[in-house]
Amino acid sequence: MSSISTRQILLDQLATLRLPAFRQALEAQFASPHYDELSFEERLALLVEQEHLQRQDNRLRRRLRQARFQQTAMIQDTDFSAKRGLQRQFVLQLAQNTWIHKGLNLIVLGATGSGKTFLSCALGRAACEQDLTVRYFRLPRFLQEVKTAQLEGVYPRLIKTLSKTDLLVLDDWLRDPLSLTDSQTLLDILDDRYGRSATMVATQFPIAIWHSRIPDPTLADAILDRLVHNAHRINLLGDSQRKIRADSIMAST
């Protein structure tokens, strides 16, 4: 059997085995004489590494698609200036995701435009990068999706999916006062996740007034009990990040 046909058979087998990065890297080795100087083990290690890196990248892309973040945000792009009240060491510690593995919660507080969504998405991405499952929702949209799932008869499947999600991010938390039905739904979901999975909420409303935005005092107590007592907190300060970016753009034109 000729060398060329042997190589083609090998490449075809790698395609059948669904090792595209390995196959591409092997084609590069065949095409370059520089690899001839390497040992078999060294060349094999390069091929395996390429396939491994490609699979990691594919997994991350899949996690990010599933998360449906509102913004493309990364921890390294976070503004840690003193006026924002953000402690760099604390945020970097959160980005290690130990709190998620422990089933704890995170509450991100701040005025409109203070960067709550950016930080929530950045921490969510950090979780995706460590192969954790994340789902991001704005609370009004989340409650609408729940109602749609109930009408279409797929609510149990949605609940099962959410219960297996490592981190659930609820942005615009309590932006609108809850109805009695929505309050019960949230309690059911939070109760199902309590102590097993992590939940992050981002809101402009101080915790002290959450109770008043939930119609039933008993449900309010139960929801806060499952969210607040085992939660880390971040309180964002300073001017609106949107205003700061707009002023910067205007100044450069």
Q: What is the three-state SS of 24-75?
A: HHHHHHHHCHHHHHCCHHHHHHHHHHHHHHHHHHHHHHHHHHHHCCCCCCCH
Of 46 and 96, the structure prediction assigns the larger pLDDT to: 96
Domain assignment present for residue 253? The answer is no
Question: What pLDDT, on a 0 to 100 scale, did the predictor assign at position 3?
Answer: 55
> What range defines the domain where residue 49 resides?
3-66
Residues 125 and 37 in one domain: no
Name the pTM for this structure: 0.80
Last residue of a domain, one of 66, 91, 120: 66
Residues 52 and 83 in one domain: no
Residues 189 and 205 in one domain: yes
Question: Is the pLDDT reported for residue 248 higher than 60?
Answer: no
% of the chain at pLDDT higher than 70: 92
pLDDT average, residue stretch 122-139: 97
Residues 144 and 62 in one domain: no
Residues 60 and 166 in one domain: no
Residues 75 and 189 in one domain: yes
For residue 151, give the CATH number of its domain.
3.40.50.300
pLDDT average, residue stretch 147-158: 94
Residues 17 and 74 in one domain: no
Q: Are 242 and 117 in contact (CB under 8 A)?
A: no
Residues 87 and 104 in one domain: yes
Last residue of a domain, one of 66, 90, 121: 66
Residues 105 and 174 in one domain: yes
% of the chain at pLDDT higher than 90: 68
Scanning the structure block, which residue is given the tokens 């921490």? 123
Least confident of 44-58, 79-93, 169-183: 44-58
Question: Is the pLDDT reported for residue 246 higher than 50?
Answer: no
Residues 85 and 107 in one domain: yes
Domain assignment present for residue 22? The answer is yes
Domain assignment present for residue 123? The answer is yes
pLDDT average, residue stretch 67-95: 95
Number of domains in the chain: 2
Residues 240 and 152 in one domain: yes
pLDDT digits (tens, 9 = 90+) for 77-89: 999 998 999 999 9
